[in-house]
């Protein structure tokens, strides 16, 4: 296999209570299949994280221990758990620790959009349908 096929990307999967497990597990499977990629699950602590359906995720690292080199940040969605995470300054503030060059490539730009799935955002004015 050519050496050029093997990367060295660091992928961080953000875990928080109440997230939708499938939003993490599906992308994690794909990222883990990348040759040479290092995929880590990060959370506030190393304590198990309970997802919205009862699945438990064991974080690999914490916000404070997260590697400095991060190429991809994956933030799973959810409903009540995501809304709670939006109010959690520690979770939202984690993005401040990310390399500056990563942020423009992320959809993580504001507190509202940092963890919000498109289903959970209010519609824009031009999306309102008259009743």
What's residue 100's pLDDT?
61
What's residue 32's pLDDT?
92
pLDDT in tens, 39-69: 999 999 999 999 999 999 999 999 999 998 8
What's residue 46's pLDDT?
98
What's residue 124's pLDDT?
52
| Residue 116, helix vs strand vs coil | coil
Query: What is the CATH architecture of 7-126?
Result: 3-Layer(aba) Sandwich (3.40)
Cβ proximity of 79 and 120 under 8 Å: yes
What's residue 10's pLDDT?
92
């Amino acid at each position: 296999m050519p050496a050029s096929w093997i990367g060295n990307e660091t992928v961080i999967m953000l875990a928080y209570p109440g997230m939708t497990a499938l939003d993490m597990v599906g992308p994690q499977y794909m990222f883990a299949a990348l040759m040479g990629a290092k995929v880590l699950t990060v959370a506030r602590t190393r304590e198990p994280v309970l997802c919205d359906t009862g699945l438990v995720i064991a974080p690999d690292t914490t916000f404070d221990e997260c590697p400095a080199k991060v190429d991809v940040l994956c933030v799973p969605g959810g409903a009540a758990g995501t809304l709670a995470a939006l109010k959690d300054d520690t979770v939202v503030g984690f993005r401040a620790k990310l390399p500056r060059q990563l942020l423009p490539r992320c959809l993580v730009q504001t507190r509202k959009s940092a963890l919000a799935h498109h289903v959970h955002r209010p519609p824009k004015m031009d999306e309102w349908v008259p009743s």
